[in-house]
Amino acid sequence: MESSETSTCAGPGYASPQAAIKAPREKVVYTICIYTGTGVEKPDYLATIDVDETSSTYGQVIHRTEMPVVGDELHHMGWNACSSCNDDASMSRKYLIIPGVRTTNFYIVDTATDPLKPTLFKTISGDEIKEKTNLSAPHTVHCLGSDIIVSMLGDAEGNAPGGFLHLNKDFEIVGRWEKDITGMNYNYDFWYQPRHNMMVSSEWGAPNTFMPGFDLEDVGKGKYGQSIHFWDFENRSITKTVDLGEEGMIPLEVRGHHDPASSHGYVGATLSSNVFHWYKDDAGEIQLEKVIDVDTIDVKDFPVPMPGLITDILVSMDDKYLYFSNWLHGDLRQYDISDPSNPVLTGQVWIGGMLGKAPVINGRAVEGAPQMIQLSLDGKRLYVTTSLFSTWDNQFYPNMKDAGGVMLIVDCDVENGGMNIREDFLVDFGKEPNGPSRAHETRYPGGDCSSDIWL
């Protein structure tokens, strides 16, 4: 790739989901890569990956933006501006906010000055955040008009329940966003639907519980969440908590419809491997129903029937398809959700996984399985990476430490449903200059399906 032209939107966001679907095709993607937990004493970094099929560097990492310290465990990231402020001329989708879940450091990365070579613009110290807000372990970053809110998984000492960090558009710490967290035992992901004055949040566990690795006994001790919370968005307080019970253990990723008039959305219960659908009925009451159930499988030497372990989900920009990954089983699924209460399985591919169904993809042995997924705005390309969290990777896929992670593209049929793994694309992070790294979340310069929300 010889020029710095990329498919960015004209302003901070697109005027509607329909406009986003028609946006120019992405030419690069930005992907978090970590050395934390691999034994390589190097900082985590943001990889710029060429995804332009006409480019001589197609499928290659063309730039690495290193963070200043070792051990952050970069995990999730988000834009400073999104489609919720598309009519604000003073805003620009220029910066990625990239926090370290272990250090609570926040890195503000400029992707606009040279989209092919992002640079570090500002650092917010994790110590300062802990001191001012008593929060730590950042996860989901969402633009909120001109401001930014971030779900935080713990207090300054790594204990539950955490809360929400509020930053202004200049990346200054405003304080805690929420006014009341009564009913919230843990925190994780969130999605907001402003026309319905609703936010939905989910639960993982305290940083002190999940950071060392997964212990099944912790589930029985109540150290992992099984509830989701519906918020009064304007008043910043929880109005309804639903305990999902054994059917909804460890609800993680939360995704709403992109249509701002819709009240529908989905949450994936990771350990139970179920998907729940929420919506408001004709009386304006919130309803919740289980709509997908992934069967457990008896596997030799696995201590319990193996769950699929749903670790990421997303909804296509036209609200037609739901995608999710089963990180233990090793499959990636596509469901038609035209009828939101009755998803229909329309596509499935296998990548790595512990069932041994696809140990080699495109000539490369895969240590790990489909984990983070990101869908192109037109819904036709799904970018897939294989790392979950460093200590969990080391526990379930110990060979990933030396082999590194991979990125693949899965082509999606948006008319009839169906998926195929692209055979000419594989980014092998086992061959990085400083040693094997692992790839996690991906974002597009022009916005993407898991970040854009409309007012």
Q: How far apart are CA 75 and CA 137, in angstroms?
A: 10
* DSSP annotation string for 399-413: THHHH--EEEEEEE-
Q: Which residues contact 99 (CB under 8 A, 6 or more apart)?
A: 72, 74, 75, 76, 77, 105, 106, 107, 138, 141, 150
The pLDDT of residue 182 is 93
φ, ψ for residue 170 (rounded to 5)?
-95, 10
Which single residue is written with the structure tokens 């948006």? 414
Q: How far apart are CA 327 and CA 320, in angstroms?
A: 23
Residues 152 and 140 sit within 8 Å (Cβ to Cβ)? no
φ, ψ for residue 402 (rounded to 5)?
-95, -25
| Helix, strand, coil tally for the chain in percent (to 5) | 10, 40, 50
Token reading at 222? 């109540």
- The CA R_g of the chain, rounded to the nearest whole Å, is 20
The pLDDT of residue 7 is 40
Residues 232, 237, 239, 240, CA torsion sign: positive
Which single residue is written with the structure tokens 């969440």? 225
Token reading at 384? 């897939």
The pLDDT of residue 27 is 96
- The CATH-assigned architecture of domain 17-443 is 7 Propeller (2.130)
Token reading at 425? 């694309």
Low-confidence ranges of the chain (pLDDT < 70): 1-11
Q: How far apart are CA 195 and CA 169, in angstroms?
A: 22
**CB count, 10 Å around CB of 399?**
13
The pLDDT of residue 6 is 42
**CB count, 10 Å around CB of 182?**
8
Going by their DSSP bridges, the two strands 237-243 and 251-256 should be labelled as: unpaired
Global pTM reads: 0.96
pLDDT tens for each residue of 81-111: 888 887 787 888 899 999 999 999 999 999 9
Is the backbone peptide bond immediately before 161 cis, with ω within 30 degrees of 0? yes
